[in-house]
Chain A
């Protein structure tokens, strides 16, 4: 299983779109850097077709840095330690940027 790491907003590159089209059941998504903007409620539609088995996370420091609040409830906020733990739990990390 794969941890997909996305660091771009939905419009600054196709990173998010490409990652969404490449997920398998049981994978996870982690939004970092500018990627965290994708967890704004306005983008919720992008994630509705994800299989329920795909867990979604965002890096809390990056969201706080950008003043983001009331984000998409499907994303769990984690810190860098959580990021490392996810990298261990999933078999590999694929970066999309």
Chain B
């Protein structure tokens, strides 16, 4: 869609459902992918809670974010980075997550941010 390429990073930091942040970030990610720009997603802080499996959001009248997230690979969005410390703090093991994720420590996160052209936060 555009000859210019910019690398985008979306930083997710919010838990799902309680606010629109997770869904807002997902919609932006899908759009960036439609524009065929290099894209990475980073899950920090409470956003790692988005990655827990087996949501059943119909119970609260919302759409199922884990179903939506499993769609990312259909959009060829495969750079999913996760803050290791955020997982540990919440007692989540990487094996609990059904998506293909890349764990990052603090310096890994700094390096990821450093190499981006644009960073959008949610």
Direct contact of A and B (CB under 8 A): yes
Q: Are A18 and B116 in contact (CB under 8 A)?
A: no
How distant is the Cα of A39 from the Cα of B121 in the complex, in angstroms?
Answer: 23
A92 and B119 in contact (CB under 8 A), knowing A22-B109, A22-B113?
A: yes
Question: Contacts A14-B45, A92-B119: A2 and B113 contacting too (C-beta < 8 A)?
Answer: yes
Task: Other than A1-B114, A22-B113, A92-B119, give 19 A-B pairs with Cβ distance below 8 A.
Answer: A2-B113, A2-B114, A14-B13, A14-B45, A14-B46, A18-B13, A18-B44, A18-B45, A21-B85, A21-B106, A22-B106, A24-B111, A92-B117, A92-B118, A93-B119, A94-B113, A96-B13, A96-B121, A97-B121
Residues of B whose CB lies within 8 Å of any CB of A are 11, 13, 44-46, 85, 106, 109-111, 113-114, 116-119, 121
State the CA gap A18–B48 with chains docked (Å): 13
Mostly, the A contact residues are: mixed
Give A96 to B113 CA distance when docked, in angstroms. Answer: 13
How far is B13's CA from A15's CA once the two chains are assembled, in angstroms?
Answer: 9
A34–B50 Cα distance when bound, in Å, is 27
**How far apart are the CA atoms of A96 and B11 in the complex, in Å?**
9
State in angstroms the CA–CA spacing of A95 and B118 once bound together.
11
CB distance from A72 to the nearest CB of B (A): 23
A11 to B114, CA, bound (A): 26
Q: How far is the CA of A2 from the CA of B109 in the complex (A)?
A: 13
CB distance from A22 to the nearest CB of B (A): 5
Q: Does A23 contact B (CB under 8 A)?
A: yes
Question: Distance in Å from the Cβ of A74 to the closest Cβ of chain B?
Answer: 20
Q: Please name the residue on chain B nearest to A24 by beta carbon.
A: B110
A-chain residues with CB within 8 Å of residue B111 when the two chains form the complex: 24
Given known pairs A92-B119, A94-B11, A95-B121, the reply for A22 and B110 (CB within 8 Å) is yes
Within the assembled complex, what's the spacing in Å between the Cα atoms of A50 and B121?
22
Q: A2-B114, A14-B13, A24-B114 are in contact. Are A94 and B119 (CB under 8 A)?
A: yes
